[in-house]
A and B are shown apart, each in its own frame.
Chain A
Amino acid sequence: MNIQPHTEVRWLRSGDFSAEKHRDEEQRLSGIMCTRLPRTACLLRLIALCILLSQTSAYFGLTGREPLVFLPAPLSNESPSGKAHLKQCEQLTLTRRQKRLCRREPGLAETLRESVRLSLLECRYQFRNERWNCSLDGRGSLLKRGFKETAFLLAVSSAALTHALAKACSSGRMERCTCDDSSDLEHREAWQWGICGDNLKYSTKFLKNFLGQKRVSKDLRAQIDSHNINVGVRAVKSGLKTTCKCHGVSGSCAVRTCWKQLSPFHDTGRLLKFRYDSAVRVLSVTNAATGEAELAGPRRHSHSPRPMDLVYLEDSPSFCRPSRYSPGTAGRPCAKDTSCQNLCCGRGYNTALRHTTLSCHCQVRWCCHVECQTCLREEEVYTCKKH
Chain B
Amino acid sequence: MLSKEEVKHILALSSLEADDEEFEVLQRRLSQMEEFVSQIKNADVDEDVSVEDAVDMNTLREDEPKESYPVEKILANAPKQKYGAFAVPLMMEDD
Tell me whether A and B are bound partners.
Answer: no
